[in-house]
Amino acid sequence: MAEDDVQASVQSNGHRWLTLPPELADHPEMIRNIMVETRAELNERDESAEQRARRAERHRATMAGLLTVALLVIGFLVWQRRDIQAFVQVVQETEDHRLVQIGVPQHLLAYTPPDGAYYDMLREWIRRVYWRGKDRAKEETVDGRWVDVHTCPSAKKMLDRLRATARAEAQALRFKEQPLVEIQVEPPLKTQTPDTYQVAWKKITTSTQYPKGKPEQFTTLFTVGRLDLKTLKDAEDNRLGICVKTVEDTDPTN
């Protein structure tokens, strides 16, 4: 760049711009080299930034691809676990407290649970359906989940009616004290009718109106059935696949 070019670069359209110091104005060749080097460095930086952007884009694409593969694998495993085959292995505890397998594993529905399993299930079913404590959220989630997985499809409408009645009672008392309900269940009795059990149980309601508790005695006739469990979670919560099939005579007997 010539010296007059340098001088012209500091003046345009009659406007005065910043001028070079005198010691640099006498060296236009040096200034031109600096400008060339500066432009080359800026171009190199632009290219480096563009390369970094391309690498980042490739990295993002690679990670997105890996994430997609991972989600597909997880989805496949979930789908595989959607339908399960549940089996039961009978064991016996020895005198030295060791568990010994009896026979071979049986498909869940081929195994006949003992009466004691139904006794325990019925007592727990009544308690979880009718108990009212201070932790209502737990009753609606944990207890509700347990009852759902121990109720046969034929009894779902009956269970819905019981829950609707309980919600209506709670709604009527929403601005008042919610009573506490304790459940006491006597050992179930097996009837002569197959898969049918009679259960006597007591409901004790405690509130400001009934500080010592208001007892109500019930006698309920249950029929039980089996469930072909479809998910691993259901099998974990109901290991024997037993359920309440029908419920009758839940009116107080006193």
pLDDT, tens digit (0-9, with 9 covering 90-100), for 9-19: 444 444 444 45
Size of the chain in residues = 254
Residue ranges of alpha helices (H) inside the chain are: 3-8, 22-25, 28-82, 115-130, 136-138, 144-149, 156-172, 232-237
Homologous superfamily of domain range 112-248: VirB8 protein (3.10.450.230)
Chain-centroid distance of CA 240 in Å reads 23
d(CA 24, CA 138): 83
Q: Which two tokens stand for residue 53?
A: 């952007």
Among 147, 139, 103, 101, which residue's Cα sits nearest to residue 242?
147
pLDDT interval class at 204 (50, 70, 90): very high
Check: pTM over 0.85? Answer yes or no. Answer: no
d(CA 145, CA 165): 18
pLDDT interval class at 6 (50, 70, 90): very low
Q: What is the pLDDT of residues 116-125, one digit of tens each?
A: 999 999 999 9
Percent of the chain with pLDDT over 70: 64
Determine which helix (DSSP H) or strand (DSSP E) holds 216, and give its type and residue range.
strand 214-226
Q: Which two tokens stand for residue 238?
A: 């109901």
Q: What is the pLDDT of residues 35-94, one digit of tens each?
A: 666 666 666 665 666 666 666 666 565 555 544 544 444 454 455 555 566 777 777 778
Looking at residue 67, its pLDDT comes to 47
CA distances from 102 to 94, 105, 140 (A): 12, 9, 39
Q: What is the mean pLDDT of residues 182-209?
A: 92
Is residue 166 within 8 A of residue 174, CB to CB? The reply is no
Q: What is the mean pLDDT of residues 199-214?
A: 90
